[in-house]
């Protein structure tokens, strides 16, 4: 048997590459992408790019290739979005495990007080307004447990749009919170707006009201003040240093 020499190998390679190049050209003219051709020929994309750079595509193959590229781009964006959603879901699940349930009464008291500090009224009466059913239900239960005021003794008001069904929305919030429908005061009906709203408030905005509650409000603020004792001196010192910011004249509304 004649031994295999290097020349035979080179000749064989040339022959294979010649056939592969012809096949690649045929596939490209059919509108296949470099990635698809690579799968068929097992030839590197850099080599395909060199072989096929002068190949012009007819209308139909070019349309197919363009459509495929658009689909890849859209799918890539969607897959990134889905991957991020899965990541966020996992972050939330891991964070949930960090909270030991049931929480202590003291922690529960401060959670509600903090929510009131952020979302509650700073005026005379004690009331809190929000559109999130989770937050509203939490606060109603918090008021019952911490302040010892049952839901049936609370008042409520709605802030809704003209096109919404006021009675049905009242029944929704009443069913959720246990506040009787007859305890709902006059709703504020927003005028129709031409502006675009990103969030649809399907249930409107709900305000929980505690009657004769000035002292209740100050009690809540006392709980917050106790937690914020360490920040008080720093805030007061900085405010005294920057008193000049309080001397700005308020703009006059001429409308």
Residue 67 lies in a domain: no
Tell me: do 129 and 194 sit in the same domain: yes
Place of tokens 């999130």: 132
Please classify residue 189 by burial: count the beta carbons closer than 10 Å to its beta carbon, then call 0-12 exposed, 13-18 middle and 19+ buried: middle
Burial class (CB in 10 A: 0-12, 13-18, 19+), 61: middle
Question: pTM value?
Answer: 0.66
pLDDT of residue 180: 97
Is the domain of 200 the same as that of 135?
yes
- Specify if 238 maps to a domain: no
- 109 and 222 together in one domain: yes
pLDDT at residue 175, as a whole number: 98
Instruction: Indicate the helix (H) or strand (E) that contains 247.
Output: none
For residue 214, tell me if it sits in a domain: yes
Residue-level pLDDT at 14: 55
pLDDT at position 199 is: 60
What's the structural domain count of the chain? Answer: 2
Question: Which residue ranges of the chain lie beneath pLDDT 70?
Answer: 1-15, 69-78, 193-199, 251-255
In a domain, 48, yes or no: yes
Helices first, then strands: H and E counts in the chain: 9, 4
What length does the chain have?
255
- What are the structure tokens assigned to 67, written together? 């459509």
If asked whether residues 143 and 217 sit together in one domain, one would say yes
Candidates 176, 98, 85, 163; CA nearest to 130 is 176
Nearest-angstrom CA–CA distance, 167 and 179: 14
Residue 162 · residue 192 · CB < 8 Å? yes
HSE-up of residue 253 (Cα within 13 Å, Cβ side): 1
Domain-embedded: residue 241? no
Return the pLDDT at 9.
39
Question: Which structural domain range is residue 45 located in?
Answer: 6-56
Does any domain span residue 135? Answer: yes
CA 15 to mean position of chain CA atoms: 58
224 and 146 share one domain: yes
Task: Tell whether 93 is covered by a domain.
Answer: no
Residue 251 token pair: 């703009």
The residue assigned the tokens 């020349």 is 7
Cis peptide before 102 (omega within 30 of 0): yes
Is residue 240 assigned to a domain?
Answer: no
- DSSP codes of every residue in 175-220: HHH---GGGB-PPEEEPP--S--SS--TT-EEEEEETT-HHHHHHH
Do 117 and 210 lie in a common domain? yes
């Amino acid at each position: 048997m004649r031994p295999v020499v290097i020349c035979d190998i080179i000749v064989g390679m040339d022959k294979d590459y010649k056939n592969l190049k012809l096949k690649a050209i045929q596939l490209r003219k059919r509108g296949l992408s470099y990635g698809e051709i690579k799968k068929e020929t097992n030839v590197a994309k850099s080599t395909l790019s060199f072989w096929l750079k002068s190949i012009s595509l007819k209308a139909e193959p070019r349309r197919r290739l363009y459509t495929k590229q658009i689909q890849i781009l859209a799918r890539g964006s969607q897959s990134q979005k889905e991957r991020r959603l899965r990541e966020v879901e996992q972050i939330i699940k891991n964070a949930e495990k960090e909270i030991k349930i049931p929480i202590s009464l003291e922690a529960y008291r401060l959670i509600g007080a903090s929510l009131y500090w952020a979302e509650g009224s700073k005026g005379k009466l004690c009331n809190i307004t929000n559109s999130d059913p989770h937050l509203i239900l939490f606060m109603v239960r918090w008021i019952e447990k911490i302040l010892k005021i049952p839901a049936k003794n609370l008042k409520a008001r709605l802030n809704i749009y003209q096109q919404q069904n006021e009675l049905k929305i009242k029944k929704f919030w009443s069913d959720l919170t246990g506040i009787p429908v007859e305890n709902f005061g006059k709703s504020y009906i927003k005028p129709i707006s031409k502006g675009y709203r990103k969030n649809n408030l399907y249930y409107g905005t709900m305000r929980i009201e505690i009657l004769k509650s000035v002292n209740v409000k100050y009690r809540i603020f006392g709980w917050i003040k106790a937690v914020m004792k360490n920040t008080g001196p720093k805030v007061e010192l900085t405010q005294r240093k920057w008193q000049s910011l309080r001397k700005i004249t308020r703009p006059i509304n001429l409308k």
